[in-house]
Structure 1
Amino acid sequence: MATILETCRVPAPPGAADDLSVPLTFLDIFWLHFHPIRRLLFYDYPCSKPHFLENIAPKLKESLSLILRHYLPVAGDLIFPLNTEKKPEIRYVAGDSAVSLTIAESGSDFHDLIGNHARDADQFYEFVPQIDPVTDESEYQRLPVMALKVTLFPGHGICIGFANLHCLGDASSLVGFIQAWASMSKLGGDEEFLTKQGDSSLPIFDRSVIKDPLGIDTIFWKKKREVPLKSSSFPLPTNRVRATYVLGRYY
């Protein structure tokens, strides 16, 4: 079992931006009631617990805060209107919005987890972060769009877990965020990141570029609004195994 070492909320750096509202398009509304997307990245990086807590964890938190300047919706909440024609949106509020981050330690067999053989799929779920539950407000429901969890396997490696609402973005968008966070952590600063990456690699939040002349978003929303948001839970036990296969070059 993993032991929780720290739970915190990581905000964008001061002065990053004013409040931001990103309306959902028909590409996003379709996924409103879909379960969160979960990803685990394992890094074979042997280090001690003191080194991790003194060097790795602070650097991950600092670089995460810096990259949120360019990915503000990641720190925001899904706003699901109730009893109104208003459409849902992802809302970032300066000084209030932040990403939930959990730091943990595990005594599980790291090399068994990253191996290519079949193993119990349920053991992976303890490394996946849980998104905070739905909050019911007077006129809407609110739900964080992402949560993160970093787990140390002392002397063996590190796992970074991601959980995000599907309406936050597709696979390409989320991989772009992960790569940007990694680059920020490696480069160490916002100026260095922008010099290396360039503005062309940053996301665009202007939804006016998506044309919907047939009003598909309205059609989708009429159906989706009939079902209130619900917090997602892990389907344990799954009674499944997970295996990895290495495909060699075919001649």
Structure 2
Amino acid sequence: MSQVRIISTSKVQLPTNAGTDYPRPGLTIPLSLFDVRWIPYHPIKTLLLYPSATVSSSSFDSFKSSLALTLPHFHFLTGDLKYLPSADDVAIVCSDESGVTVIEAESDLNICRLAGGSTHDVESFFQLVPNTFHEEMPMPVLAVQLTKFTECGVAVGISMHHAAMDAWGFSQFVDCWAKTCRDGVVPSNLAPIHDRAIIMYPGQEEIKKKLLNARAPNLPKESKLTSHLLDITPVASISDQKRLTRRKFTVDLATIQHLKQRAVRQIATDISSPPTTFQVLAAHTWISIARARGITAENNKPTFMVYLMDGRTFLPSPMSVSYTGNCLFPGIVHSTGSALMSYTGFGQTCGNIAETVRKNRAELMGSTVREIQTLNLASLSGLKVAFTGSNRLQVFDKDFGWGKPEFEGLVSMTNDGDVVMAAGKEKGSVQITVGLKEDMDAFIHAFQEELETLQKH
């Protein structure tokens, strides 16, 4: 039985007053090669919990009116993903009918329990975010939900299609919306860039078409077809997502420094730069998952990790960090049980990750990394660990006027072995959320045991 009750559902649309001028490229935004790869994925569902917030009868009005003030600066978020038969392409289209669905809800769930637990209450979390997914186009880009709790506290749930923007763009939007809700005015220094024409990437149209055909194979090929529907086969179902057990960890700055020191001691060759926070945490998490899954030096099973690298500053023509669309490049690090589990396996894994990142950056700047855009990860056999987010991504600074959130999390983790990184609450700390279908207890033991050993020395 649902413990969240919908009070109202409405829609926020763009102003229709004459003379309204939206940022380039206007009300139809073609997708880039970095956007189309996300078409078959379920929308990203993010949850923010504010247990100590005191809400009034006007709180929902402020929530909704501040969104209306923010959206003209992020106008494409009001649109729908649509198939354009004349161009045999997919774009975000803002029309008189489109807009952002806004849900007002109430709940008698215990928000303090939800916000304070290390293990996600997945069933409850899914009730606190908009239930949006369309298997046919048009698909709405954005929907939001505000849930007020019986005693006190409030939850903000956001559902956004990944084809519209990546985590950096999403953070810009939520930052702006939260400040507008808190202060009553849109920040004056706002200058987001939405025009995909800013991307200058060799062979991009060819790669885009190849990706679109691979990701949406049912796309009509004949321009004479007038259907605007595009059948989508989702990458993972909601039931698959709910089967993942998610556990949150916070690693403090002192422990991260110990991990870096350990990596330096174990890396046999000279290193041009010290290990980064991402490298040491990714290596430790990867090894811990492999250990939990029974991978050893003796059985020497294959394994690899995938990460997403922000390419804004590494493209041949560097882009502004204010660009809101997708600009993510996957990187892949291969390994085996014998390499991960050796005495110096942690340091060598850090070194392998660093080398892959360095190589990818060089290829990006040299315009040579093309095939990785169409890589089919399903074709790779072995244990897969996939990292998203970034330890530089601030998620605990989203103050809508209720203070900073006590919890921020990605509800829509998709695959067994998914790992999400973000900056932690305390300065220098990192929040890591791991999603596994099984062996979570074994992973927790492996992950924490090594960190506790480091802290004792």
Distance in 1 of aligned mates of 2:127 and 2:58: 24
Contact map agreement 2:42 2:133 (CA 8 A) in 1: no
Which runs of 4 or more aligned residues in structure 1 lie more than 6 Å from their structure 2 counterparts after TM superposition?
A: none
Q: 1:138 corresponds to which residue?
A: none
Match of 1:69 among 51, 58, 72: 72
2:38 matches 1:31: yes
Q: CA deviation at 1:237?
A: 8.2
Post-superposition CA distance 1:119-169 (Å, at most 9, x none): 54222111110226356xxxxx31101111111113321110111111011
Deviates more, 1:156-165 or 1:110-119: 110-119
Structure 1 residue 233: deviation in Å? 5.6
Task: Determine if the alignment matches structure 1 residue 161 to structure 2 residue 165.
Answer: no
Superimposed CA distance per residue, residues 66-111 of structure 1 (whole angstroms, 9 cap, x where no aligned partner): 10010111110001246x6521100112x43210011100001111
Distance 1:223 1:240 in 2: 26
Q: 1:211 maps to what in 2? A: 200
Match of 1:43 in 2: 50
Q: Is the 8 A contact 1:5 1:103 kept in 2?
A: yes
Q: Which moved more, 1:25-34 or 1:120-129?
A: 120-129
Change (3 A) 1:116 1:14: same
Q: Spell out the pairing of 1:34-183 with structure 2 (5 A cutoff).
A: 34-47=41-54, 51=56, 54-81=57-84, 85-93=87-95, 95-118=96-119, 120-131=121-132, 133-134=134-135, 141-183=137-179
Question: Could you say if the C-alpha distance between residues 117 and 213 of structure 1 is closer, same or farther in structure 2, counting changes exceeding 3 Å?
Answer: closer
Shift of residue 10, structure 1, vs aligned partner: 1.1
Percent of aligned pairs sharing the same letter: 25
Which residue among 214, 217, 227 is the counterpart of 1:226? 217
CA 1:248–1:20: 2 relative to 1, 3 Å: same
Structure 2 runs not aligned, ≥5 long = 219-230, 256-457
Amino acid at match of 1:114: A
- Provide the rounded CA distance (Å) in 2 between the counterparts of 1:174 and 1:2: 26
Does the 8 Å CA contact 1:23/1:90 hold for their aligned counterparts? yes
The residue type paired with residue 132 of structure 2 is I
Map of 2:15 onto structure 1 = 13
* Match runs of 1:179-190 below 5 Å: 179-190=175-186
* Higher radius of gyration, 1 or 2: 2
Counterpart amino acid of residue 77 in structure 1: D
Structure 2 CA distance, aligned partners of 1:243 and 1:131? 24
Highest relative contact order (Cα 8 Å, sep 6+), 1 or 2?
A: 1
Deviation by residue 1:18-51 (Cα, 9 ceiling, x = unmatched) = 6601100100011111121110001133436xx2
Corresponding residue of 2:250: 246
Contact 1:146–1:165 (8 Å) recurs in 2: yes
Q: Matched residues in 1 for 2:6 and 2:172: separation?
A: 28
User: In 1, are the aligned partners of 2:216 and 2:233 still within 8 Å (CA)?
Assistant: no
Distance in 2 of aligned mates of 1:92 and 1:35:
20
What TM-score, normalized to structure 1? 0.83
CA distance in 2, matches of 1:76, 1:103: 21
In the superposition, relative to structure 1, how do residues 237 and 245 fare at CA in structure 2: closer, same or farther (>3 Å)?
closer
Q: For 1:250, give the aligned amino acid.
A: A
- Which amino acid is the alignment partner of residue 4 of structure 1? I
Partner of 2:409: none
CA contact (8 A) 1:47 1:154 kept: no
Range 5-14 or range 28-37, more displaced = 5-14
| Contact 1:148-1:160 at 8 Å conserved across structures | yes
Contact 2:120 2:248 in 1 (8 A): no
- Code of the aligned partner of 1:180: C
Instruction: Report the Cα offset of residue 222 of structure 1.
Output: 2.7
Please tell me the root mean square deviation across aligned C-alpha atoms, in Å.
Answer: 2.4
**Given that residues 12 and 68 in structure 1 are in contact (C-alpha distance below 8 angstroms), is that contact kept between their aligned partners in structure 2?**
yes
Distance 1:222 1:238 in 2: 29
